[in-house]
Amino acid sequence: MSWSPSLEHDTVLVISFGGQYAHMISRRVRDLGVYSEVLPYTLASEEAVKSRKPKAVILSGGPSSVYELDAPTVGDWVLRLDVPVLGICYGHQLIAKLSGGSVERGVGEYGRTRVALAERDPIFDGWGDEEDVWMSHSDYVASVGPRGRVLARSKETGYVAAMKVGDRVYGAQFHPEVRHTEKGLKLIANFLFRVAGARPTWRVEDLAERLIDDVRSRVPPGEKAIIAVSGGVDSTTAAVIARRALGDRAVTVFINHGLLREGEADEVLSSLRSLGLDPIYIDASQRFLGALRGVSDPEQKRLVVGRVFAEVFEEVARSDPSIRWLVQGTTYPDVIESGAEVGADRIKSHHNVGGLPEKLGLKVIEPLRYLYKDEVRRLGLSLGVPEGIVLRHPFPGPGLAVRIIGEVTEEKLATVRRASRIVEEELRRTGLYDKVWQAFAVVGDDRWVGVKGDRRAFGYIVTVRVVESEDGMTADWVRLPYEVLQRIASRITSELPQVTMVTYAITTKPPSTIEPV
Ligand code: XMP
């Protein structure tokens, strides 16, 4: 068996009833220094849970109702584990149901809600008698079962806000993992340290040597590993690990698909060189743009980019028969999601080199498979990856092809490239770049009549999108100051004569996605 952090660290198991809720909880636990893993409820049999020897178990929230037909559930063995259990939102309701209490459809509590403690318990250390918490539910726990005690109630509705069943099982109707629950992190810390006695040994900065050793021990002498880098933090950090582990036997490839941002190819190349990665650089722009000609369907564009990428990569990989391994920068949420996360619909087919390892007979190594993005960033910094890469906004694999609605043409590409650079420059100038998740421009086929000088022109509409997000799963648009918006709009229309209108995208995710395509 290969190395896993759970072999060395106290591990909290988060049983997932809905992907994003579970990951948010798991990240908070890790931020408190305790390693955690997410297990989809479909895989959470009694044996699977016990065999992982968790120090504590958390049942996540989720979008279902416990009384729906086929509602996601786990067996009532979860009440009899010999480690503490905490159910959050849906998990709380599930514990009530499994322990003989009742759950009913109520008036719904959404957003900031005041709760009052009914009983003092170590899990509430540091809490006042009343606190504001974040709720998002319409089902509620109407009564606790015979072994249950109410620990807190909502002030307004009287619903059970927290309960304890026996002496180790807790439920919280509110979300301690979201920042709007002011003492939420305190509650999670109490659960981990006071209730479960977990040791906070998880520090991502200590991990580099471990990961390097693991790669080194898997690739036998005489064999090589190949890795495609994009200049993003994940692939770059994975490449640095591979390089430290294997030296020249780690082959780094940087493929320019012609869909990069302004100046990006040069910046990426010089960063990679400064890290000693000595990449093979392939400018395949014309090949990609040729293949994209006439393609306007969003999914088709992604598939075309993925296919051409795979072809180019395959040519490099086949050129050296000692290449037997493929290193990928896959991170933890993708590992969990690709495994068995049922019910989580794939909204867009994300571009990756899927299918290639089998085709080329390469064995896959994913050094970052246990880590969240913010952990990869910290690890990257500890390995000397430049801040420019670590703090760079996420950029989709298919590049600007997903920021152009309709066919990718040279003119639209030039427009979106320049406009995006202007958005970035203005955010950097005002110190906002590092405070937002992503900031970019989009162009499509809609037109707007404009007056340039004394001529009327039927020009492009450029849409600016600036969002904040914790993980890209949900997002809110950033309330940019009017002056910043004004400056972005006037620079775009004056520097790009083909643009006659600039709009600002003000829809959250959901219902929108972050990228337009
Ligand atoms: P959406 O648009 O689905 O994006 O809200 C969520 C996050 O994922 C990024 N994204 C992609 N990343 N290949 C990628 O590698 C893709 O095809 C892709 N599509 C979206 C997006 O930039 C955002 O951070």
Q: Which pair of tokens denotes residue 310?
A: 């795979």
Pocket of ligand 1 contains residue 393 by CB under 6 Å: no
Predicted local distance difference test score (pLDDT) of residue 354: 59
Are the C-beta atoms of residues 52 and 75 closer than 8 Å to each other? no
C-beta neighbour count of 90 within 10 angstroms: 25
Return the H-helix or E-strand segment holding 451. strand 438-452
How far is Cα 170 from Cα 59, in angstroms, rounded to an integer? 10
Q: Tell me if the domain spanning 409-504 has CATH number 3.30.300.10.
A: yes
**Atom 11 of ligand 1 has which residue's CA nearest to it?**
396
Torsion of Cα atoms, 271 then 273 then 277 then 282, to 10°: 90
Out of 9, 23, 92, 175, the active site residue is: 175
Out of 177, 264, 426, 515, the active site residue is: 177
The residues, any chain, with a CB within 8 Å of residue 200's CB and separated by 6 or more, are 32, 33, 34, 192, 193
Predicted local distance difference test score (pLDDT) of residue 344: 43
User: Which pTM does this prediction carry?
Assistant: 0.91
Per-residue pLDDT of the chain (517 residues; tens, 9 = 90+): 578 999 999 999 999 998 778 999 999 999 999 999 999 999 999 999 999 999 999 999 998 999 888 999 999 999 999 999 999 999 999 999 999 999 999 999 999 999 999 999 999 999 999 999 999 999 999 999 999 999 999 999 999 999 999 999 999 999 999 988 999 999 999 999 999 999 999 999 999 999 999 999 999 999 999 999 999 999 999 999 999 999 999 999 999 999 999 999 999 999 999 999 999 999 999 999 999 999 999 999 999 999 999 999 999 999 999 999 999 999 998 888 776 444 444 445 454 555 788 888 999 999 999 999 999 999 999 999 999 999 999 999 999 999 999 999 999 999 999 999 999 999 999 999 999 999 999 999 999 999 877 888 899 999 999 999 987 888 999 999 999 999 999 999 999 999 999 999 999 998 999 999 9
- 177 included as an active-site residue: yes
The answer to whether the peptide bond before residue 321 is cis (omega within 30 degrees of 0) is no
Annotate 47-89 with three-state secondary structure.
Answer: HHHHHCCCCEEEECCCCCCCCCCCCCCCCHHHHHCCCCEEEEC
Q: How far is the CA of 411 from the centre of ligand 1 (A)?
A: 23
How far is Cα 19 from Cα 498, in angstroms, rounded to an integer? 43
Q: How far is the CA of 396 from the centre of ligand 1 (A)?
A: 5
Domains of the chain by residue range? 8-195, 204-390, 409-504
**Atom 3 of ligand 1 has which residue's CA nearest to it?**
513
Q: Which pair of tokens denotes residue 43?
A: 């895989």
- Taking each helix axis from N to C end, the angle separating 410-429 and 482-495, rounded to the nearest 10 degrees, works out to 140
Pocket of ligand 1 contains residue 399 by CB under 6 Å: no
Q: Token match 């990756």: residue? A: 352
Q: How far is the CA of 402 from the centre of ligand 1 (A)?
A: 9
β-bridge pairing 160-165 and 169-172: antiparallel
Buried b (16+ CB within 10 A) or exposed e, 191-201: bbbebbebebe
Torsion sign over Cα 323, 327, 328, 333: positive
C-beta neighbour count of 500 within 10 angstroms: 20
Ligand 1 pocket test: which of 334, 348, 437, 438 has the largest number of ligand atoms within 8 Å of its C-beta? 348
- 89 included as an active-site residue: yes
Return the H-helix or E-strand segment holding 410. helix 410-429
Out of 9, 89, 341, 426, the active site residue is: 89
Predicted local distance difference test score (pLDDT) of residue 351: 41
How far is Cα 508 from Cα 468, in angstroms, rounded to an integer? 10
Pocket of ligand 1 contains residue 472 by CB under 6 Å: yes
**C-alpha 427, offset from chain centre:** 23
How far is Cα 307 from Cα 185, in angstroms, rounded to an integer? 44
Return the H-helix or E-strand segment holding 326. strand 323-327
Pocket of ligand 1 contains residue 474 by CB under 6 Å: no
Q: CA nearest 308: which of 397, 370, 221, 437?
A: 397
How far is Cα 254 from Cα 268, in angstroms, rounded to an integer? 9
Q: Which amino acid is at 261?
A: R
- The CATH code for residues 8-195 is 3.40.50.880
Q: Which pair of tokens denotes residue 2?
A: 């290969």
Q: Which pair of tokens denotes residue 227?
A: 């890795």
Domains 8-195 and 409-504 share a fold: no
Q: Where are the beta strands (DSSP E) in 144-214?
A: 148-154, 160-165, 169-172
Predicted local distance difference test score (pLDDT) of residue 339: 64
Annotate 460-493 with three-state secondary structure.
Answer: EEEEEEEEECCCCCCEEECCCCHHHHHHHHHHHH
The answer to whether the peptide bond before residue 516 is cis (omega within 30 degrees of 0) is no
**Atom 22 of ligand 1 has which residue's CA nearest to it?**
396
How far is Cα 509 from Cα 20, in angstroms, rounded to an integer? 13
Predicted local distance difference test score (pLDDT) of residue 47: 97
Pocket of ligand 1 contains residue 516 by CB under 6 Å: no
Helix, coil or strand: residue 440: strand
Ligand 1 pocket test: which of 338, 403, 442, 514 has the largest number of ligand atoms within 8 Å of its C-beta? 514
Pocket of ligand 1 contains residue 343 by CB under 6 Å: no
Are the C-beta atoms of residues 169 and 97 closer than 8 Å to each other? no
111 forms beta bridges with 135
Q: CATH class for domain 204-390? A: alpha beta
